[in-house]
Structure 1
């Protein structure tokens, strides 16, 4: 079969021939892959830079996808540790790590939106006791995960969603997706706008996030009011110099959300509800479908056409 194959962490995957995978045990099934998204974590793993990266090469990248099983059922699946990736004509999946999808759903839309959607969905559903009516600040709201976070926060009942990001053109489009306020990262208005938020979904981290935290805490009306700061992504850097006084001077709790901090069982329990909303068209996401044969070019030039890239074998 054909697949995207990584033979070096220093080079993008190449469209190559590779042996067909074979199920190992009754819980595994072979699926025809219909769509596989190119996510940030997928890039990180393929470059050896992500915390969950392995060391064995060659490898097929892709952490999730939509495929059709031998019984004709359409499934969204997430690949477990040690399993072949989804960027191939076929792959073996663990039935327990997959969910059945409506037969009339769009595989490309599901493959594009599930991973970026899970970032905010899991953070708000699994990492903090989020309640309808609370106020949310989203740092890095102009990326795919950030724009999905705006929509998910509103869908789950947030009374206020403040979207902060660098791309002012994209920021201008976020009120139509549910943002009640928008502000560029680094704008001095951020602290005032977000001073009474209950939850921060932080996709940036690094020094940028620390400056935002300082701005919010300095303006906070009541520093005893609980503030859940959820680290979801590291677009501005993996390391953040967190002053101890931030933790002493306000009732702020910093937690992470991702593979490991949310259990496999919890992730799998949340997938059906999120998939249903995506299949219904509840959330919007720019998507660019690309033939898998063009994987090397698309990997090296991800900005062409815009939108989340989804490979279609």
Structure 2
């Protein structure tokens, strides 16, 4: 079979011919991969920087995808926790980490949308039980996951969605996805933090994909402007695009009813994620959540890998090349 193979964390994957793996247990199956998304998490997996990295090499990147089982059924699957990922013609999947798809589901759309949508969907249903009418600030709303978070917050009944990010074009587009207020984080960080405080003082939840300096600087401006500091504000750390560490002001934890929690692998069990997949898949398949995929054959992995990750489109690889696919 053919696969994208990482043999060094200092260089990207190469398209290689390798031996196909063989199932070794009752819960394993060798599936034909139909589509797999190039998520930021995949890039971090391939360069060894993600916190779940085992530093095992060589590895086939790809953390999820859509596959066809030997009996012909379509499934969405999360790749196993080893070096056999989804960027291949075929991959071993754990049937306990796969859910069936409708026969008419679009594999490319599912592969594009599931991962960026999963973080906010699972957060709002598993890490905190968001009640209809909640108000939310999304830090990093111009990223792919942040754009999904805007749509998901709207779908789950948010009464106010404040979206903050740096990319001006994406910020303008967020109102069409459901954002009530958009705020630019470009320019002076202290000025941006004050703007966040003025606009977001009454939110119930912060979905934070940035962390780092934006989080550290904006906590007190938000908390000190709340009309009722005894009303709980839950800050949920999901991503760290602005830095892995944030200098949390101690006054933030004393001056208001304020809690900081995280959401990701480990804080939510695999069973918890799996339980949310069917409803999320249904929302994507029914068009309640939108994505903007662009499809490439896996054979172009080396060229595509060098492109900027900051794109309006979600890159999806299909192992079987088709004549109408774009190329470099």
Structure 1 portions without partners, runs of 5+: none
- SS of structure 1 residue aligned to 2:224: helix
User: Is contact 1:288–1:305 with CA below 8 Å preserved after alignment?
Assistant: no
TM-score, normalised relative to structure 2: 0.93
Q: Residues of 1 paired with 2:222 and 2:90: CA distance? A: 48
Instruction: Give 1:288's match in structure 2, choosing from 282, 291, 294.
Output: 294
Q: Residues of 2 paired with 1:16 and 1:302: CA distance? A: 23
- Residue 90 of structure 2 is matched in structure 1 by 90
- Residue 80 of structure 1 is matched in structure 2 by 80
User: Is contact 2:60–2:83 with CA below 8 Å preserved after alignment?
Assistant: no
Q: Residues of 2 paired with 1:193 and 1:131: CA distance? A: 21
**Pairwise mapping of residues 265-276 of structure 1 onto structure 2 (< 5 A)?**
265-276=271-282
Instruction: Give 1:254's match in structure 2, choosing from 260, 264, 282.
Output: 260
Q: Residues of 2 paired with 1:72 and 1:210: CA distance? A: 50
User: Is contact 2:40–2:309 with CA below 8 Å preserved after alignment?
Assistant: no
Deviation string 1:79-124 (CA, Å, 9 cap, x unpaired) is 1312610000000101110000011111111001100100100110
Q: Residues of 1 paired with 2:153 and 2:295: CA distance? A: 27
- SS of structure 2 residue aligned to 1:173: helix
Q: Residues of 2 paired with 1:166 and 1:209: CA distance? A: 14
- Residue 207 of structure 2 is matched in structure 1 by 201
**Pairwise mapping of residues 25-40 of structure 1 onto structure 2 (< 5 A)?**
25-40=25-40
- Residue 159 of structure 2 is matched in structure 1 by 159
User: Is contact 1:45–1:54 with CA below 8 Å preserved after alignment?
Assistant: no
What's the offset of the Cα at 1:244? Answer: 1.1
Q: Residues of 2 paired with 1:55 and 1:303: CA distance? A: 22
Instruction: Give 2:308's match in structure 1, choosing from 295, 298, 302.
Output: 302
- Residue 107 of structure 1 is matched in structure 2 by 107
TM-score, normalised relative to structure 1: 0.97
Structure 2 portions without partners, runs of 5+: 320-328
- SS of structure 2 residue aligned to 1:297: helix
- SS of structure 2 residue aligned to 1:230: strand
Q: Residues of 2 paired with 1:189 and 1:122: CA distance? A: 28
